[in-house]
Amino acid sequence: MKVRNARNWGPRGARRWCLAAGALAVASTIRFALHPVLGPMLPGTTFFIAASLVEYYLGLAPALTVMVLGSCIADYMFVPPYNDISFLDQSDVVLLVAHPLVTLIVITLIERLRREQARAKLIASVAQSRYEMLLRQDNERALARRAVDETHRLLRHLAQYHDGFILIKGLERNIAQRVGASASGAPVLPPAAEVAPGPLFDALHPEDVHRLTNALWPGHHRVRLRGEQHEHEYRLTNCSCERFTTHAGDFLVLRTEEH
């Protein structure tokens, strides 16, 4: 996989140039403090270390700048004759050739490693995002499969207990999520907009019609149904309410337990 942004792994802005200038100043100060001990030996060592550290943390351009300026400072201040650029000898040539060459090789290797590290991080981020997308798709497929299964179960339920149905209540999803609680502790779903009557709906007591239409929850209920022989007599009947979550919405189905 080609990742073009891997070359832009370093920080951006003026801050990195300020840090590079600080590293160059620290390297110059340390070499100047060691000059009475080292004399003309190893004039570019601290600048080599500074350029390598700058490359690792700040990027290629600041490291090259530290390398060039460090070579000039080392040749001017720490190679005899000191503080004189009008005279060049073998020591100056060795410093101006060897120091940039070695430093350039090291910072090139570090740059390559940092780009590969940035590339690996970018690929890992892309892989993580694709993995999350696959998980979301799997979840959506699972929800769709569950909705289809619930639809089939609802259809089988309707066919099996058709004669015992009292009503079917449709729930809006955003409303069904806001579940309250009844006095007995059972969950109460808010009233829905649509109620489809079943074969026994007309035999239901008017008070039970109002109660079940406005407050119905999955579980067991007791309702009053009109008798077949006496129209004004009602008998208590045990009922069961089940909830079905389908792709078309959520439904509560109330039926008698005698069928």
Please state the domain extents for the chain.
4-128, 163-256
DSSP secondary structure letter of residue 196: E
Q: Specify the residue for token string 């090291």.
A: 106
Cβ(192)–Cβ(175) below 8 Å: yes
pLDDT given for residue 135 in this prediction? 94
Cβ(256)–Cβ(164) below 8 Å: yes
Classify the C-alpha dihedral 106-112-115-121 as positive or negative: negative
Q: Average pLDDT for consecutive 10-residue bins of the chain (259 residues)?
A: 73 92 96 90 92 94 95 89 79 86 94 91 90 93 86 82 86 52 44 73 88 86 82 86 84 84
Q: Which amino acid is at 116?
A: E
pTM beyond 0.95, yes or no: no
pLDDT given for residue 250 in this prediction? 86
Question: Architecture of domain 163-256 in CATH?
Answer: 2-Layer Sandwich (3.30)
Can you tell me the distance from the alpha carbon of 69 to that of 25, in angstroms, rounded to the nearest whole number? 11
Please measure the distance between the N-terminal and C-terminal CA atoms of the chain and give it in whole angstroms: 64
